[in-house]
Structure 1
């Protein structure tokens, strides 16, 4: 993933929509704030809090059943604060049509630590790779304070579905999950990054490999926590 950039991809499910069948504005803002926090924390390696946001205009709705992609990019760095520009884009699964829903700038402040590092040059994600991030919150953890295996499986499956659907632009369903290996636990408060790639294409089916990485936002320690292969079939 590019330095200073974090990408969160999710589906718009019925529970996230209003009576018009479009994404709640509050849910969209929550995604944007989370991405801003992750981008700031990954850049500064310090505990950040959101201090302010500029005016946010909603230009287009995100519809039920669409993908939403929130991308956060660090655009200004001061001594203890930085700005993150966030774009939220909706994407139709089958047509691939994309439209900008909203854009905003968030200012975050480091609660402790020394001067923040300067901006780094951006680097492109690996070609053909879907990379998406999230964070582990307390409701997703067990009594050990680590991510539930079931939640990890849900994330792995979602990444496989998105990668396969973007590759084919067809209605894809999971036909099988091959070997799944859990190598290390993921702790509460850590960032998770899913990397998915289509490794085999048939007439109606695909094989998708997904790796799940955990990252401590303060120390930058990174480790592969799980990997899986899925068979996806076009209906």
Structure 2
């Protein structure tokens, strides 16, 4: 399970580094998603081990948070979570912190115990960017489904990260093609974004982003939207500049 986000000024302290509380919130969210996908049950966080911060994540960095289920009991499990900061242009990466979270499945009609045991580990394909997130009440309309604008924000962020990692340059969005929403995404569901670079020009990158919804209890998945974004490398003057190696 992987979540990638940007460190914006509103998430930093007076030193210009990521608030520890924001980092812990990212880690807890990833732990919850990893647990829910594994156990298909309503989980709550019961505890976390002592978490030491070894390096800061600075404003403008990417933060990559990954979680892996490492222990399963009858109704509880442990998720090991790692948070890494990455400088978008240089690609320099720093391990900021690592921790273990214990989550417990709440008993009820949707909970099947004992929880399933750990299966084979799935390696991340680093050629394809996969991001996961949750849909919370503040992101939904009066129908209880994700706002189209918030879906576009997620897709645009995925395109930006994929293009930046591909070009290792300062990237801005130049255009997006028509986007058709084929299925609503409901409150409490997980969204998964898959972004892949489809074409690289002299100073531009075309990124395809697919958006899917997943019910965390049943595992049912639906394709929600697909879009193509044109991202452009720019210099200090704001004008397009060639991508190195192109």
CA distance, structure 2, for counterparts of residue 127 and residue 91 of structure 1 = 15
2:153 aligns with 154
Given the two structures, how large is their TM-score scaled by the length of structure 2?
A: 0.92
After superposition, the CA RMSD in angstroms is 0.7
Correspondence for 2:56: 61
Distance 1:37 1:12 in 2: 21
**Structure 1 residue 221, shift from structure 2 partner:** 0.2
Could you tell me the TM-score, scaled by structure 1's length? 0.97
Deviation at 1:127, TM superposition (A): 5.1
Matches within 5 A, 1:188-199: 188-199=187-198
Q: How does 1:100-179 map to 2 (within 5 A)?
A: 100-112=95-107, 113=111, 114-126=113-125, 128-179=127-178
Work out the CA distance in 1 between the residues paired with 2:209 and 2:184: 17
Structure 1: segments with no counterpart, 5+ residues: 1-5
User: d(CA) in 2 for partners of 1:53 and 1:156?
Assistant: 31
Show structure 2 runs of 5+ residues with no match: 235-246
* More strand, by proportion: 1
Secondary structure of the structure 1 residue equivalent to 2:178: strand
Instruction: Give, in angstroms, the shift of residue 120 of structure 1.
Output: 1.0
Structure-2 residue corresponding to 1:3: none
1:47 matches 2:42: yes
What per-residue deviation string (whole Å, max 9, x for no partner) do you get for residues 101-150 of structure 1?
Answer: 00100000000221100101122334521001000000000000000000
1:184 aligns with 2:183: yes
Q: Hey, what's the Cα distance between the residues in 1 that align with 2:151 and 2:31?
A: 23
* Aligned structure 1 segments of 4 or more residues deviating by more than 3 angstroms: none
* More moved, 172-181 vs 142-151: 172-181
Report the count of equivalent residues.
230
1:10-42 deviations in whole A, cap 9, x for unaligned? 000000000000000000000000000000000
